[in-house]
Structure 1
Amino acid sequence: MKFWQHILSNLIDTHNVYLLTVIDNIGSSPGRKGFKMLVTEDGFIFGSIGGGLMEFSLVEEAKKLLQDGDLKIFLKKQLHQGHKENGSGMICSGEQTVVFHPLGAQHISMIKGILDCLQANNRGVFTLTPTSIIFSNEQLKGQFESKINSAQDWLYKEYIGFKNTLYIVGGGHVSLAVSDLFVTLGFHVVVVDNREYLSTLDLNRSAHQKLVVDFNLITNYISEGSESYVVIMTSNYTDDEFVLSKLIRKSFAYIGILGSTSKLKTIWRALQKKGVTASELNVVHAPIGLAIKSQTPYEIAISIAAQIIMIKNRNQ
């Protein structure tokens, strides 16, 4: 969201912007399809199209075009095979195609539409062509659609919007750190707790939604599906057990629970007495996160993020 906010603030301040978007990549390209970067004539940049010498040279090219007022839409192929024709100077052997698209005051309403979509956790389709840039409610079969027939005949479409939602059940100190980290990773973050006037929940400025609910109704607030990730970290083990009992037979991309091995054994015994099977319990990531001896809330958040990213990317 910050990327589009930076574009909007520059356009409102009457600064023209070049939007650089990777619309295709092959092999070991550092820039992947969908990578974006904004460049302004005064040198402000945000985002990335892969880094290194390639990114530096394309940013300098965009800055010069903005300073000269030579605002045009074009694409540029970069071969990461040294200094041959169209070479980026990099030697990672892949290639990528980057679209340069100038944005001005006439695009403010479109950028506002993208931000409204993101804020509401909706999705829209971002379309680039040799003559236009559009944001619409169109549907795509996948995350991207693109074709490049020539420098004058190409099309790129991409879903814009939060795809994955992280539900954090529990609003304590670890929840604060997890919220901060997952928002930067592009997740829509929802924090759910059953305690009113909770200071750490009030302090949470990252989460997109903060809900105080009766845990008896927890299933009304957590959506099933391949884009839903659930982490349970309530204030006591009885609430952990109760919430897990409500959710364990639901379908999620990921479900995990924070706690020590001894605490989890107690919860597992209680759930098995209630009829939860060993195979159902095996789906739960417990203890949550990768085993990196995490101690602080942010270390725990990083271990959880690493595990969820591994599972998310494995399933793509």
Structure 2
Amino acid sequence: MEFWQQLHTKLQNKQKVYLLTVIENLGSSPGRKGFKMLIAEDGFIFGSVGGGVMEFALVEEAKQLLQQENPPTFIKKQIHKGNIKDGSGMICSGEQTVAFHCLDAKHVSIISTIISSLQQGKKGTLHLSPTQFDFTPHTLKNQFEYNINSKEDWYFKEHIGFKETLYIVGGGHVGVAVSELFVKLGFYVVVFDNRENLNTLENNQTAHKKQVIDYNDIENYIEESSSSYVAIMTNKYTDDKLVLSKLLKNNYQFLGVLGSKAKLQTMWEVLQNEGVTQEELNKVHAPIGLSIKSETPEEIAVSIAAQIIQIKNT
């Protein structure tokens, strides 16, 4: 979000800005597909396409081109194998291709649409080509689609928006810490609680959405999807059990419950007596988070993030 806001500000101020985007990477390239960087006419720089001497050279090239009346759109291939043709000066091995698009005030509306889409939790596709810089509400099956036939014949499409949503059930101190971390990790974060005027919920400034609900209806608020992650951390055992019982039969990428092993063992026994199967309970990550002896809300958030990242990426 911040990247697009920075770009939007520069364009509104009538600055020409080069947007650099990594559209292909192979091997141990420091830049990965989708890495972005902006270089403004006034020398302002934000983002990264991999860093190091390679990035410095690209920035200097962009600065020189911005002095032209109509800076070109082009792609530049870099090979990270030392002093060779198309070499970047780096020796990490691998290759990457970077697209250069010069944007100006006429692109403000496109960037505004991207920002608005992100703020609303919507998704869309960024289209790049030698003749195109556009954003549409259509979504891709994968994060990226691209094809490079030549320097004059290529395209790159990127999913823009939140692919994963974390639903936090419980707006207490741990919920706040988890919200802050997962927003930084690129998740769309929704927090629910059943308590009116809860201080920690009202003061949670990072979650994208906050809502006071009746936990008896919790399943109506959480989308069944392979991109849905659910972390249950209410303020009492009975609410944890209620929420879990409502969600157990649904399909989410992740379902976890915060609590001690003793509390959860008791909950498991009660749920099994009520007809919940062991197979259903085996889907639940409890206690939630990797076992790293976490104690503070922030440490607990890290343990939960590590577990969810591990599942998401494998």
TM-score greater than 0.5 by the shorter chain? yes
Which residue number corresponds to residue 257 of structure 1?
257
Which residue number corresponds to residue 242 of structure 2?
242
CA displacement at 1:23 relative to structure 2: 0.7
**Matches of 1:250 and 1:133 in 2, distance apart?**
40
Q: Deviations over 1:147-196 (max 9, x none)?
A: 11111111111121111100000000111111111111111100000000
RMSD: 1.4
CA displacement at 1:44 relative to structure 2: 2.4
1:142-161 correspondence runs (5 A): 142-161=142-161
Describe the SS at the equivalent of 1:150.
coil
Matched, 1:6 2:13: no
Which residue number corresponds to residue 104 of structure 1?
104
Q: Give 1:183's aligned amino acid.
A: V
**Matches of 2:294 and 2:58 in 1, distance apart?**
40
Q: Give 1:231's aligned amino acid.
A: A
Q: Deviations over 1:195-243 (max 9, x none)?
A: 0000000111111110100000001101111000000110011111110
- Consecutive unaligned residues in structure 1, runs of 5 or more: none
Among the aligned pairs, what percent are the same residue? 62
| TM-score computed with the length of structure 1 as normaliser | 0.96
CA displacement at 1:139 relative to structure 2: 4.3
Matched-pair contact (CA < 8 Å) for 2:123–2:139: no
Which residue number corresponds to residue 183 of structure 2?
183
1:13-28 correspondence runs (5 A): 13-28=13-28
| Equivalenced residues, count | 314
1:228-239 correspondence runs (5 A): 228-239=228-239
CA displacement at 1:67 relative to structure 2: 4.1
**Matches of 2:253 and 2:68 in 1, distance apart?**
49
| TM-score computed with the length of structure 2 as normaliser | 0.96
Q: Give 1:272's aligned amino acid.
A: Q
- Consecutive unaligned residues in structure 2, runs of 5 or more: none
Which residue number corresponds to residue 216 of structure 2?
216
**Matches of 1:145 and 1:113 in 2, distance apart?**
21
Q: Which moved more, 1:12-21 or 1:194-203?
A: 12-21
**Matches of 2:238 and 2:123 in 1, distance apart?**
37
Which residue number corresponds to residue 89 of structure 1?
89
CA displacement at 1:69 relative to structure 2: 4.8
Q: Which moved more, 1:129-138 or 1:238-247?
A: 129-138
**Matches of 2:215 and 2:178 in 1, distance apart?**
20
Matched-pair contact (CA < 8 Å) for 1:41–1:64: no
